[in-house]
């Protein structure tokens, strides 16, 4: 069951998928349509899942699930991964690789491999105050409060000297 993302409770489970490039307006519109369609049919053991989504900065697909009524099961999580993989194939993008880092580089959003980010940290091209996207957030509240944070406040801090 599709619901507006902003209406999901703060303890809703969150999945953040970052694209390896900025999406075009047309791609965002198509991904929005396809995600809405998927979420209207998403179930766990026959029970409708109350879920919403948003696309941020033409780069991040964020799916939230209200677990008060029904939680995602192994099968429903598998179906969501298959859905994300279908988007990857359709748009020739990478959404599932968690070994990449997205961060602000001035007013722009940069996307680098973890090894390149480590090199940038060593070269002091990124600092403890560089704002990174912590895609490991688990709840909507964490997403709203701790998704865009200085690197020193996220798991990225281990790479900063």
* Domain extent at residue 146: 100-159
Q: What's the number of CA atoms in the CB half-sphere (13 Å) around residue 4?
A: 2
Q: Strand 43-44 to strand 47-48: parallel, antiparallel, or no bridges (unpaired)?
A: antiparallel
Q: What is the rounded distance in angstroms from the CA atom of residue 133 to the CA atom of residue 104?
A: 8
Whose CA is closest to 109, among 159, 148, 74? 148
Same domain as 9, residue 87: yes
Same domain as 124, residue 57: no
At residue 127, φ and ψ (nearest 5 deg) are: -125, 175
Residues with Cβ within 8 Å of 115's Cβ and at least 6 positions away in sequence, in order, are none
Strand partners, 53: 63
Same domain as 155, residue 105: yes
pLDDT per residue as tens digits for the range 86-145: 999 999 999 998 889 999 998 999 999 999 999 999 999 999 999 999 999 999 999 999
| 77 has pLDDT over 90 | no
Same domain as 75, residue 15: yes
Strand partners, 108: 105
| 70 has pLDDT over 80 | no
Number of domains into which the chain is organized: 2
pLDDT per residue as tens digits for the range 14-47: 999 999 999 999 999 999 999 999 999 998 777 7
Q: What is the 3-state secondary structure (H, E, C) of 68-93?
A: CCCCCCHHHHHHHHHHHHHHHHHHCC
- Domain end point (choices 91, 109, 139): 91
Same domain as 41, residue 21: yes
At residue 142, φ and ψ (nearest 5 deg) are: -60, -40
| 161 has pLDDT over 70 | no
């Amino acid at each position: 069951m599709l619901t507006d993302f902003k209406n999901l409770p703060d303890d809703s489970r969150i999945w953040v998928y970052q694209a390896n490039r900025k999406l075009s307006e047309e791609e965002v519109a198509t991904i929005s349509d396809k995600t809405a369609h998927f979420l209207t049919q998403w179930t766990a053991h026959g029970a409708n899942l109350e879920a919403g989504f948003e696309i941020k900065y033409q780069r991040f697909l964020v799916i939230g699930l209200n677990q008060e009524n029904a939680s995602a099961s192994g099968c429903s999580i598998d179906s969501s991964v298959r859905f994300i993989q279908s988007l990857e194939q359709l748009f020739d993008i990478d959404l599932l690789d968690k070994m990449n880092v997205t961060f602000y580089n001035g007013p722009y959003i940069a996307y680098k491999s973890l090894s390149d980010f480590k090199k940038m940290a060593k070269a002091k091209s990124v600092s403890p105050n560089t704002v990174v996207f912590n895609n490991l957030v688990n709840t909507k509240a964490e997403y709203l409060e701790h998704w865009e944070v200085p690197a020193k406040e996220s798991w990225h801090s281990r790479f900063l000297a």
